Structure 1
Amino acid sequence: MSNIQHIIEERTHLVGNFRVGRLLPFREKRMVGPFAFIDHMGPLQLSDHKNFDVPPHPHIGLSTLTYLFEGSIMHRDSLGTEIEIKPGAVNWMTAGKGIVHSERTPEYLRKSNKSLHGLQIWVALPKELEQTEPSFFHIEASKIPTWSIESVDAKLIAGSLLGHQSEVPVHSPLYLLELKSTSKQTLHIGSELFGESALYILEGSIVSEGTVFESKQILIAEDASRCSFEMNENTTVYIFGGKPFPEERTIYWNFVSSDKNLIEMAKMRWQNQEFDKVPDEIEFVPLPKQQSNYKLKK
Structure 2
Amino acid sequence: MNIETNRDEPDDESSAGCDAVELVIPSRDKDLGGFSVRRVLPTAKRKMVGPWIFFDHMGPVRFPAGQGINVRPHPHINLATVTYLFEGEILHRDSVGSVQLIRPGDINLMVAGRGIVHSERERPEVTAVAHNLHGLQLWLALPEADEEINPAFYHYPAADIPSVTVEGVLLRVMMGEAYGVTSPVKTFAQTLYVEAHMQAGQALVLPQAQERAVYVAQGGLKAGDTHIAEHAMAVFSAEPGIVLTALAESRIAIIGGQTMSARFIDWNFVSSRKDRIAQARADWKEQRFAAIPGDDLEFIPLPE
TM-score category (smaller protein): over 0.9
Aligned to 1:161: 178
Cα distance, 1:137 vs structure 2: 0.3
Aligned to 2:126: 109
Asked if 1 retains the 8 angstrom alpha-carbon contact of 2:208 and 2:238, the reply is: no
**Pairing of 1:116-135 with structure 2 (within 5 A):** 116-135=133-152
Q: Normalising by structure 1, what TM-score? A: 0.93
Amino acid aligned to 2:291: K
**Pairing of 1:1-298 with structure 2 (within 5 A):** 2-189=19-206, 192-245=207-260, 247-281=261-295, 282-289=297-304
Distance 1:284 1:210 in 2: 48
Deviation string for 1:144-181 (max 9, x for gaps)? 01010011001011112222111111111011001112
Distance 1:102 1:86 in 2: 16
Aligned to 2:6: none
Distance 2:74 2:123 in 1: 18
Q: Secondary structure of the equivalent of 1:262?
A: helix
> What CA RMSD, in Å, does the superposition of the two structures yield over aligned residues?
1.2
Cα distance, 1:235 vs structure 2: 1.1
Q: Secondary structure of the equivalent of 2:193?
A: strand
Distance 1:211 1:183 in 2: 16
Pairs aligned (count)? 286
Distance 2:220 2:192 in 1: 21
Aligned to 1:296: none
| Structure 1 stretches lacking a partner, 5+ long | 290-298
Aligned to 1:293: none
Distance 1:279 1:107 in 2: 19
**Structure 1 consecutive aligned stretches of length 4 or more whose deviation exceeds 4 Å:** none
Cα distance, 1:224 vs structure 2: 4.5
Aligned to 2:8: none
Distance 1:232 1:106 in 2: 38
Q: Secondary structure of the equivalent of 2:72?
A: strand
Asked if 2 retains the 8 angstrom alpha-carbon contact of 1:196 and 1:224, the reply is: no
Q: Secondary structure of the equivalent of 1:30?
A: coil
Aligned to 1:292: none
Asked if 2 retains the 8 angstrom alpha-carbon contact of 1:84 and 1:106, the reply is: no
Distance 1:49 1:233 in 2: 35
Cα distance, 1:210 vs structure 2: 2.5
Cα distance, 1:64 vs structure 2: 0.1
Choose between structure 1 and 2: higher strand proportion: 1
Asked if 2 retains the 8 angstrom alpha-carbon contact of 1:3 and 1:226, the reply is: no
Cα distance, 1:233 vs structure 2: 4.1
Q: Secondary structure of the equivalent of 2:278?
A: helix
Cα distance, 1:182 vs structure 2: 2.7
Asked if 1 retains the 8 angstrom alpha-carbon contact of 2:87 and 2:134, the reply is: yes
Distance 1:61 1:227 in 2: 33
Cα distance, 1:225 vs structure 2: 2.2
Cα distance, 1:110 vs structure 2: 2.0
Indicate the percent of aligned positions where both proteins have the same amino acid.
37
Q: Secondary structure of the equivalent of 2:283?
A: helix
Cα distance, 1:211 vs structure 2: 3.4
Distance 2:33 2:175 in 1: 28
Farther-moved stretch of structure 1 (92-101 vs 258-267): 258-267
Q: Normalising by structure 2, what TM-score? A: 0.91
Cα distance, 1:17 vs structure 2: 2.3
Distance 2:164 2:237 in 1: 27
| Structure 2 stretches lacking a partner, 5+ long | 1-17
Deviation string for 1:117-141 (max 9, x for gaps)? 1001000000010000000000111
